[in-house]
Structures are given as C-alpha cells and as structure tokens.
Structure 1
Amino acid sequence: MSTENIPQSEPLRNDQVQNNAGGFSWAVDDMQRLRRFLCLGCEGGTYYQGEKELGIENAKSILKLIENGRGVEVVETIKTYSIEGRTSKQNPIMFALALCAKSTDLPTKRAAYGSLSDICRIPTHLFMFIKYAHALGQNWGRAQRRAVSKWYTEQNPSKLAMAITKYQNREGYSHRDILRLSHPSTNDALLCFLFDYITHGLQKAIENLNKPKESTNGDHTTEDKTDKDQQQVQQQQQGNLNDEDDETNNKKLVTIEQLNDFLETVEKAKTSTNEDELITAIRQHHLVREHMPTNMLNSKSIWSVLLEKMPLTAMIRNLGKMSEIDLLSENSDAEKRVVERLKNREQLQRARIHPFNILVALETYKQGKGFKGKLQWQVSKQVKDALEEAFYLSFKYVKPTNQRYLLGLDVSGSMSGGTINGSPSVTPAVGSCAMCMVTVRTEPYAKVS
C-alpha cells in the first residue's frame, strides 16, 4: 500500500508512536528531549506560548535519564552545549544543571557541582543557577556550599574584582548574600580582602587588613593572619603567577594595593559627575558601562572611551544607546570601529554569539526604537548592514550535530503577525526562517519542505 494513501491517523511504520494531536511521529528518546530543551527551552519539536505541559515533562525526562544511570552523561551534555555556545539563552542550561545538582544520585550530583565553574563563567550564570537550585530545594547542603565557595576561591583576584563590581546583583541575589550562604574559606590575602569588601564595604576591608582574621559569618579564612603572613601569601601567589603562561591563563600580577586602588576608583565612579575623571578611570582601570553612574551615560565622550575595549556582545547590546546619543553618526570613527568589529570573523568566533541573538539585535536596531523604555535612535545604514553580515558570518561558528533533519515551515499569514516570546522585535516568520537557515547552513544532512 502506498504511503500516500495512509491517513495521518495511522502510522507509516511500526516504529512510529502516537502524538498528542492523534497523529503519528517518530519516537524521540529522553536524551534528544534534553538537547531540545537546552536549545529551545522546551522539549517539544515546536515552541508554543502555552507549552507548559511539555516544560514539566522535560523535567521528568531528565529525571528519567538520571534514574537510568545516565546522569553524568546529562551533565556532560549540558557542559558541552554551554561551553560551545550552542544555545541562544542560558536559562535552560542553568535549570538543567540545577536539577542535576539537586539529584539524589551521587555521581550526578558530584558531576553537576564539579562542572559549576566551567558552566557558570560569570556571576550572572552563578546567580541564575542558585535561583533555580533554590526553587528545587531551599536547603544549602555541603556540596552546594563547597561548589559555590570554590567558584569564588579559585578565581584570579583581579578578575574577581572586576566581576563582583560589574555584576553586583542578579536574579534577586547579591555577592554578599552568596558569601553568607556559602561561607568560603581561603588563606589567600587578596581574596580575603575582596570578601571583606563584599560583606562589609571598602572602608571596613581596609581597616581589617592589619587585624587578625576571626571566624565570622563569611568564614573567609581559617587561621589568623599578621602582616608578615599576608606578605608571605602575596609573595607565594606572585611567584605562582610568574610561573604561569600568561597567554594561556591570562592572569595578571596584582597586589592588595592595586586591588584597593581599583575598588576605590569604582566606588568614586558611582557618584562622579566629572566627565574627565571618569574617562581617566576607564582608561587606567578598564572600568565598563556597569561602573558608570546613570546620569553620565548620555555622554558621547564616555561612550567613545568605553567602546575602545568593549566586548563584542556588550557592543551589540548597546548599539541603540550609542546611536541615540549620536555617537554612531555617519562616517564617524565610532561607526567605523563598530562596523569593522561586526565584520571581524575572529572576534565573532571568540565571542561565540549565536546567530539568532545577532538577528534579534539586527531586527531591534533597524526599527530605531527599543521595546522597553523610551529609547529611540537614528538608524545607521552601515551598522545595520554590518549586523546583517555578522548574522551570516556567525553561521560558520555553530557546531553541526551531523544528524539528519527534515524541517517543515508554517507559511500561513498568521506567522507574519505577532512576535516571538522573549524576542519582541522578531516575528514568527522571520524567527523560524532564521533558525531554519542556521540548520541548513551548518548541518550536512538537512532538508526543508
């Protein structure tokens, strides 16, 4: 019997299963459902605004994998998708990791907490993980305290100083909250100084420098420290840093005096109204937009200096603001710098920006206004064209799965109306075509119908 004559209420082959709509489709295993969730935020093959049942079912599929002894494999998959930048959003990654961390299966729990620092690369990710972990179980067990403490104590002090001042609070948590919950312990004088700054403020941290460290609610250190002890720790750490390969580890030699100077500059910048003073601070201490007081973020001079070393992701996110203050005027140096970076293949590869995120930035920018607040700007044609070129260039850096895909697109008129949940600048038609294009351009076995 020809397959053309088989109604959709009957299976084409015996290995097909009935779906929720009453038709038949190919069976999808739990691991594939996990991969779908990490990429889409739901485990179904399509995303609907009301797909709440599949979200719950997704959690059940992860739990099922853990019950079947594949929890460590789940964690490795989460880690791979995170490190390789395969997802456009981090929320599903952090939720899945938190679910594994709260598992009663010890190998899964150990693997999840052991991967925490690799997956939560910035405080935003860490706070998001803690939020989901709290929702799944409010208690802070020993494993979670140890893993979160390790996230802080294994950081390079100069990088940690930048991180805690740039990402001060997210998801309802601050670094002070996290330190009081995790009780990190370290013999590193530099980290102790930073922990004192987080929990008590800069002035108190400076006062505590020459005092013996007592066990407090932060538990920053387990032994008393004199000035001599601190100097020995600093000398030992500096020796270790000098032995490291700077290109591989990107570590800088730093002292308490340098950390103090940086933190004093950050604190002063919060209330500064002196444009020249802020520009000097940006250049000398590499301050970023998050360090600037809100009332000074309308200054072209400050944005021009910030742009010099601004990460590519942050630059794309702030294109609207820079255009609003006329920094990206036609043929300006800033416009040329932005266009050049957007077309730079190496920078796109290092930034690991997903093509869909660039598409969202393009669709938002060319509309000349934001969807939140009152931000409006004059669109730069050169910047708009560079964003479009960056969208196509970024396909090259999406890792193929080498699986076979048959993609079906809804071409009805309804796809051109409304917006995508979470991406209000993109219509369903544009979003589905973009994701289809990503698959077709990166996968060797893909067909569209």
Structure 2
Amino acid sequence: MADYLKHFAALVTPQRQKARADQVKNSAGGFAFALDAWARLDRWLILGAEGGTYYATERKLTVENARAVEACLAADGPRAVQRIVDISSSGRAPKNAPAIFALAIAAADAKLETRQAALAALPEVCRTGTDLFHFTRDVQGFRKWGRGLRSAVAAWYNDKPVDRGAYQAMKYQQRDGFSHRDLLRLAHPVAPTPQHDALYRWIVGGIEALGKESARGKALPMSDLPDAVRAFESLRAATNRKQVTALIRQHRFTHEMLLTEWKNDPAVWEALLEHMPQTALLRNLGKMTAIGLLSPMSDASRRVARQLTDAGRLRAARIHPIAVLSALKVYEQGHGERARRRANALSWTPVREVVDALNEAFYLAFREVEPTGKKHLLALDISGSMTSGSIAGVPGLTPRVASAAMAMATARIEREYGVVGFSAAPGGYGGKWGGGVSGLTPLSISPEQRLDDVLRAVNGLPFGGTDCALPMVWAKRNRVEVDAFVIYTDNETWAGGVHPFQALREYRQAMGRPARLIVVGMTSTGFSIADPTDPGMLDVVGFDGAAPQVMADFTRGVS
C-alpha cells in the first residue's frame, strides 16, 4: 500500500516542504514565515547588511531591505520616520549607518509629509558631523538639492548653540568627500547670531576671513569666535609638548583635533585620557598601548580599566555591546584588522587589566534586567551559514560568534539555563532520525568564563546543515523541562524532518508545559521560524540593546 502520509501531513512536515499556506521559501530552500515590512525595518536598522550572509551578497541584502524601508514609507511615512528616529536615538543599534541610509530614502519620498518629517528628524538621527556627512552622501543618491534639503542642513548648524557647533567643526572635519565648508556653501545658512556668523566664516575661510567684510557689510571681531576655536588655533600653532598638553587639559580637546606629529607622544595621550569620551576610549586602546602609555600595572591602565567598567559612563555614552565586543576582539589580537596588509602598521602587546575590563564591560553595556526565574534553553545555530558575513560590519564577528556572546548576556541574568549548539548531520537527518552524527551538542560554557574564551570555543565547533527544530526535538526526547527556548539563528532552516513550530507544539503536548519560543534573528533577512499566529512565539533582533529586557518580559508573560 502506498504511503501517502510521507508526502503530506499536518503534524509533521519536512522543512523543505511548505507546512502552511502562509510560509515562504527562504534563501536555503526551506520554508519559514515571512517578516512583515515593519519587522524587517527593525532588523535593518539594528543589524544592517555589511558583508552580506552565506546566501545573500551585501548588495542583494541591502536592496531587499531598502525595499522594506520603501514599503513602510508607503504604508505610513511619518510612522516609519519615527521608527528610524526611535532606534537611532535610543542606542539600540550597533551602528547608525542603516538609520542614516533609511532617513535619506525618506527624505526623497514622493509624499511631502514624509519628506518634511525626515528632514525635521535630521538632527535627531545625525547627531555628529560624521553622521551629517554620511547623510549628505546617501541622500544625493535619491534626490537633488532643493529648498527643503538646504533648509534642513542649515537648521542642523543654526539650531546648535555656537559652542556645540564649534565642537562639531573641530572634531568631525571631513568624511565621505564632504567637509563643513562644503555643506555651508551648499546650504547657505543665515547665521542667527554674530557668533554663529564668525564661526561659519572661520569654517569657510579660516582665521583670515574674520577681518573681511561679511554678508552684513562689516568685518567681524576676533572676539566673536568661541573661546574654544581661538584655543584650537593656538593648539594647531603650538610648537612644544607643554603647550599642547595644557591646551588639551584646559579645553578638553580630542585626538581628532591634533596635528599628526603629536599623536605618538605618550604625554599628549595621557592628557587626552583625562577627559576622553567613552567611545574614543574604546577605539584608541591599541594606540595608547602601542605608544607605551598603557602597560602592565601602570596608573594609566588602572584608570582605563575603571573607566571601561563604569556602568554610568557606558549608559551616558550609549555604548552598544557590539562596540565593546569589537574593541575586545581587536585589542586582544594585538593589531588592527588591516595590519597584515600594511608596512609599519600599528601593533601592541595586550595589557591584562584592559582585556579583563573589556570582558566585564560587554555585560555592563546591556541594560540591567531582573532574572525571570524561568528555565531557559539557549540554543546556538552553529550551522555553516552562521559562519559567513559579519555583525554590524565587525571583522571576524560572524553570526555564530555573535550569538554566543549574546547568549552569555542572558546566561549572566538567569539562574536556570542550559546552552546547546545545533546543526544537522550530513543529509539533514542526524538530529531527527538518529542517522549519522547527532545534530545537537550540549555546550559546557558559562558566563563565569571569560567572554573571549567562550567566543573561541564556539568558533571552533564543527558545523553542518540548518535544522532549527533540533532544540525542541532534543528537549522532548530527553524530557528536559524548558520554559523558554531561545534560538539564535539566521532563520535559513532547511534540513529537518519537522518544522520548528511543529516541534514546539509536540514538545508542549508531550511535556504538558506552555513553553515559549524566542527567535533571535542574527542577520537582516526577511524570514523567521517564529509562527506569527502563536502568541507564545517572539521574534527579536539580534544585538538589539533592548533585547534582553524584551525577552525577559516575554518569558514572564508580560506583553
């Protein structure tokens, strides 16, 4: 008798077949659920598409996500712009570039109200001069310069207190082929005060421009320039270390404001360190070590370690966990990512106190979350596709490595948890039917270990196909009590004999537990294994700074 059930069944369906009418084919040939445009917008704003994925190039992924941005703008332009602002300004995303790109698309929208909303949001999304240069580059790919764009850029300068405007001009001088001089000439702002007028003339024409007649018909006195700008001119003219360090301490100048010849002087960096912003500190650990300022058991190393693990400073600076993780990966390897390709590239011997502080700072960068008291199974997708691409463009930070770091953040919060890695055996049947090598491996890692050790351990695991049902199949077979399955994946599941949502349903019935499933999407694809019709399943974006709190609330049953 023919076995028709193997071709079509409602309870158990191979992942290469559609189990429900609302499923779509993912990039790997399996079937999953499509994210709506709003969920995909969130993934784009937080994860971006640098480096692409195993199945999609950076270009393909960017185009797909740009279409999702356009779909959200078409559905509700002001809402989409507000979403861009909310994620950008909250510090939830590792990088601001995706938000800037999305805002540039919105600024060229066909609807006037959307364009106006986008241009009004410019200072909220583009908070630094570098952000503004990025936006200018991006927006010119979608529209020409018109009155609205000129007015928005002019307002970016005019609405800032003159001291803040001066700081932007001194620190973020040029990027992406643009300078402040270029933008002032494009936007033609009418200075709101004599001090702004003096600042703009200094940006465009240098200190000599102050003695010439302005658009108001008279020369401007040097006293109209902010004190910091006059001191900056003195800094650029300084000829000895004592002058340079004194000006740095008095005016809190940053390393971007220095001439190149002072950037290898330990005394100069020691002066910079006294008021160094948290982001700059993370980015310059290698430099300060290479020139000898940071050394084992030195006062400077102790100061840096204290600043890195200061939770208040991390929160105030809106430091994202990815920024800390990137700093850790670069610093502990002792050279920059491009060092091997350049002669005389910067290199250093990592200082233990700094490495220890970075390990601790990673966890501190997540928002504080109360433990739920629930039993968690943290399941890491270690299949081959998770080894391609990079999170937020950080070299070496593959979705597989990043998922281990994010899982450790949850493990630090919760008391009852297990950690497993899963990938399908050759042929895709190892975890389900027992053929070949088992598809799921309990991992003996914990947050008590150093984060860098955990990342290395996970990166060295063997890999195979993707079967996101394995955690539920394994837990049912072994009678493991689980309140929340947390699966870190790219959602490119294809290799299993049962869909993940079916496996969760079977687990719930067999164990008599209303287990929940949290799917942590580690790439900005448009798929999810989470059933959108099941209130016990949740899709979150990997490395969203707010994710641990959202996951904890969902596990508790708080909507």
**TM-score, length-normalised on structure 2?**
0.66
Q: 1:265·1:281 contact (CA, 8 Å) conserved in 2?
A: yes
Structure 2 SS opposite 1:396:
coil
Equivalent position to 1:288, from 233, 246, 254: 254
Q: Which residue of 2 aligns with 1:23?
A: 30
- Percent identity, aligned pairs only, is 41
Deviation at residue 150 of structure 1 after TM alignment: 0.3
Write out per-residue CA displacement over residues 297-346 of structure 1, whole angstroms, 9 at most, x where no aligned residue. Answer: 11111111100000011011100011111211222221111111111111
Equivalent position to 2:93, from 73, 87, 94: 87
Higher strand share: 2
Q: Which residue of 1 aligns with 2:502?
A: none
- Please say which structure displays the higher CA radius of gyration: 2
Q: 2:290·2:349 contact (CA, 8 Å) conserved in 1?
A: yes
Q: Which amino acid aligns with 2:325?
A: L
Deviation at residue 429 of structure 1 after TM alignment: 3.2
- Separation in 1, partners of 2:200, 2:261: 29
Q: Which residue of 2 aligns with 1:148?
A: 153
Higher helix share: 1
- Separation in 2, partners of 1:72, 1:200: 39
Equivalent position to 2:107, from 75, 95, 101: 101
Relative to structure 1, the CA distance from residue 44 to residue 417 in structure 2 (aligned partners, 3 Å threshold; closer, same or farther) is closer
Equivalent position to 1:432, from 395, 403, 415: 403
Q: Which has the higher contact order (CA 8 A, sep 6+)?
A: 2
Relative to structure 1, the CA distance from residue 165 to residue 45 in structure 2 (aligned partners, 3 Å threshold; closer, same or farther) is closer
Equivalent position to 1:163, from 165, 168, 174: 168
- Separation in 1, partners of 2:267, 2:119: 44
Q: 2:50·2:390 contact (CA, 8 Å) conserved in 1?
A: no
Q: Which residue of 1 aligns with 2:356?
A: 385
Equivalent position to 1:32, from 17, 39, 63: 39
* 2:66 is aligned with 1:59: yes
Deviation at residue 57 of structure 1 after TM alignment: 2.1
Deviation at residue 91 of structure 1 after TM alignment: 1.2
Deviation at residue 257 of structure 1 after TM alignment: 2.4
Write out per-residue CA displacement over residues 37-79 of structure 1, whole angstroms, 9 at most, x where no aligned residue. Answer: 11111499967561432321222222222222x1111100000
Stretches of structure 2 lacking an aligned partner (at least 5 in a row): 340-344, 370-375, 410-541
Q: 1:66·1:105 contact (CA, 8 Å) conserved in 2?
A: no
Relative to structure 1, the CA distance from residue 180 to residue 432 in structure 2 (aligned partners, 3 Å threshold; closer, same or farther) is same
Q: Which amino acid aligns with 1:144?
A: L
* 2:331 is aligned with 1:324: no
Q: How does 1:83-232 map to 2 (within 5 A)?
A: 83-137=89-143, 139-205=144-210, 207-208=211-212, 211=213, 213-214=214-215, 223-224=216-217
Relative to structure 1, the CA distance from residue 383 to residue 21 in structure 2 (aligned partners, 3 Å threshold; closer, same or farther) is closer
Write out per-residue CA displacement over residues 219-273 of structure 1, whole angstroms, 9 at most, x where no aligned residue. Answer: xxxx55688xx9xxxxxxxxxxxxxxxxxxxxxxxxx627365334323433544
Q: Which residue of 1 aligns with 2:311?
A: 345
Stretches of structure 1 lacking an aligned partner (at least 5 in a row): 215-222, 231-255, 399-404
- Separation in 1, partners of 2:31, 2:377: 16
**TM-score, length-normalised on structure 1?**
0.81
Q: 1:368·1:379 contact (CA, 8 Å) conserved in 2?
A: yes
Q: Which residue of 2 aligns with 1:305?
A: 271
* 2:302 is aligned with 1:333: no
Q: Which amino acid aligns with 2:125?
A: I
Structure 1 SS opposite 2:86:
helix
Aligned-residue CA RMSD in angstroms? Answer: 3.0
Structure 1 SS opposite 2:57:
coil
Relative to structure 1, the CA distance from residue 23 to residue 419 in structure 2 (aligned partners, 3 Å threshold; closer, same or farther) is closer
- Separation in 1, partners of 2:155, 2:392: 36
* 2:244 is aligned with 1:278: yes
Report the number of matched residues: 400
Q: 2:54·2:386 contact (CA, 8 Å) conserved in 1?
A: no
Segment of structure 1 superposing worse, 416-425 or 20-29: 416-425
Relative to structure 1, the CA distance from residue 120 to residue 413 in structure 2 (aligned partners, 3 Å threshold; closer, same or farther) is closer
- Separation in 1, partners of 2:229, 2:263: 20
Q: Which residue of 1 aligns with 2:412?
A: none
Q: 1:15·1:26 contact (CA, 8 Å) conserved in 2?
A: yes
Q: 1:360·1:425 contact (CA, 8 Å) conserved in 2?
A: no
Q: Which amino acid aligns with 1:380?
A: V
